Amino acid sequence: MSDPIGYLSLVLHAHLPYIRHPEHDEFLEEDWLFEAMSETYIPLLDLYERLLNEGVKFRITMSVTPPLAEMLADPLLQSRYERRLNKHAELAEKEVHRTSKKSASEFHEAALQNRDIIRNTLRIFRDEHNRNLVNGFRKLQDAGVLEIITCCATHGFLPLMITPNARRAQIQIAKTNYEKHFGRAPRGVWLAECAYDHGVDELLEEAGINYFFVDSHGILFGTPRPKYGVFAPVLCPSNTAAFARDMESSKQVWSRDAGYPGDVEYREFYRDLGYDAPYEDIRPYLHGDGVRRNIGFKYYRITGDVDLSEKQPYRPAIARQRAADHAGNFMFNRQHQVQYLREFMDRPPLIVAPYDAELYGHWWFEGPMFIEYLFRKMAYDQSEIQSITPSEYLNTHPVLQTVQPAPSSWGDKGFYEVWLNGSNDWIYRHLHQCEERMIELAGAHPSADGIQRRALNQAARELLLAQSSDWAFIMTTATAVPYARRRTREHVHRFHNLYEQIKSAQIDENYLKELEWKDSIFQELDYRVYA
């Protein structure tokens, strides 16, 4: 096979906020993790392993953020997820029986698919990876097909932090956590929300991180103008490389109007058995409050611009073929894209296609099928483009143009408004005070030990958890606002309590133990990172 004309770097950003509530037997928001495990992380892990075992040549990059890695490796959450899977397996068997009858036979193929998926999910989770998906992803990285990158420690929005110490702590804590889970230092980072500001790259260089990602305008508005636009990485003045998103490939998937996931044959996300089934049948599979919610069993296709009540039955075989067709179309467009770009470049153009990982499988059920078909087609049906990781591209093309990226994010309007507006601006005066107080504590206690050290570490955890950009984002999107506000207030309140106890040298050990039990993220944390 001849050398490729260009490269495709597919990047999936896998992240969820740290949600773990041991004080409750079950907690609704923990379902965010469990849904993503069943619908995105395990299907992706499964397809990567299948391609590797079959010798299909592919490369993919994926962030596994520190909060997500901590949750995936947590025995309590693993146990709760397995409990949920077992309940779903029971329901799936009932649904296969129900849809085998003539009155519901149009849903039988989808019910069989659901049952098979849940069985496979249990096998992968429990039997193949001993309930810890982090180990599965790590093996793929060790095999050389998956490059795992890190993120800010708790997905903190770096440009809205007022001290370099707080920004540095988010990066250094993430690096240490990555080393704990993946056995090596991270080569790249996904900055939370792709939010870049001047000076961030210097902190990355200090941490030994080679590259990061920005949205298109972060490079296009850089100084000087990039010679190759977004189709080659640039070198920041700090010697850290920046890769920019290609809007054309993103639009084909993301666009609400023209994107693949809106195809009429794909599975409808918003119509769910949790609402359609008779209440007495579905009640055992709902949360303790008994409120109807989505439970992940879906029998209808998108159909078109019609009311949910008018959706038509889902047809798995047709949807799978449509995923293959769309993968072929995506590849065709990338082939023509690199053929055109190659005429104007002295190196193979690189198309960087980053997405939220949860798009694939959770929001777009057929998304993992699309990725698998894409890699198979790229391996066997053409030679113009080849998949590559950012590290591989930097190794083969080390000479880069030096550009100072522009402040930017990949949020709506491209800057910081999603995370700083009238719905959430109240949080920052509290977060900034906590930043300053944490730096004060770290400076005043350079070598604490015993209960004082525990309290300082816990204060750092509470600050980090309060800084999660997810809470500000949720307030903007108005999805689970009471929970986001509560989490912000709780962590800020806990931080200030610990601050006052440390300052007065009167630490309440019972209170500290309770916080260590509830907010147990980053057991390896060292508060001195804030000094």
Percent of the chain predicted with pLDDT > 90? 98
Q: What is the pLDDT of residue 3?
A: 81
Q: Is 243 helix (H, G, I), strand (E, B) or coil?
A: strand
Given a contact cutoff of 8 angstroms between Cβ atoms, the answer to whether 120 and 112 are in contact is no
Q: What is the pLDDT of residue 258?
A: 82
Given a contact cutoff of 8 angstroms between Cβ atoms, the answer to whether 88 and 285 are in contact is yes
* Burial letters 357-388, b for 16+ CB under 10 A, else e: bbbbbbebbbbbbbbbbbbbbbbeebebbbbb
**Mapped to the 3 state alphabet, what secondary structure does 255-304 carry?**
CCCCCHHHCCCCECCCCCHHHHCCHHHHHHHCCCCCCCCCCCCCCEECCC
Given a contact cutoff of 8 angstroms between Cβ atoms, the answer to whether 6 and 350 are in contact is yes
* Rounded mean pLDDT, 85-100: 97
Q: What is the pLDDT of residue 254?
A: 83
For residue 345, which of 233, 220, 250 has the smallest C-alpha distance? 233
* Rounded mean pLDDT, 303-312: 96
Torsion of Cα atoms, 294 then 300 then 301 then 307, to 10°: -80
Whether the per-residue pLDDT at 530 is higher than 60: the answer is: yes
Per-residue pLDDT tens over the stretch 212-271: 999 999 999 999 999 999 999 999 999 999 999 999 998 889 877 789 999 999 999 999
Whether the per-residue pLDDT at 328 is higher than 60: the answer is: yes
What residue ranges define each of the domains in the chain, with the CATH number in brackets? 8-73+132-258+317-413 (3.20.110.10), 268-313 (no CATH), 421-530 (1.20.1430.10)
- Residue found by looking up tokens 């400076």 in the block: 443
Q: What is the pLDDT of residue 1?
A: 43
**Which residues are catalytic, by number?**
193, 356
* Rounded mean pLDDT, 493-499: 98
Per-residue pLDDT tens over the stretch 208-227: 999 999 999 999 999 999 99
Q: What is the pLDDT of residue 199?
A: 96
- Residue found by looking up tokens 């960087």 in the block: 352
Q: What is the pLDDT of residue 387?
A: 98
Q: How confident is the model at residue 24 (pLDDT cuts 50, 70, 90)?
A: very high
- Return mean pLDDT, the chain: 97
Whether the per-residue pLDDT at 353 is higher than 70: the answer is: yes
Per-residue pLDDT tens over the stretch 373-414: 999 999 999 999 999 999 999 999 999 999 999 999 999 999
Residues 6+ apart with CB under 8 A from 395: none
Whether the per-residue pLDDT at 2 is higher than 70: the answer is: no
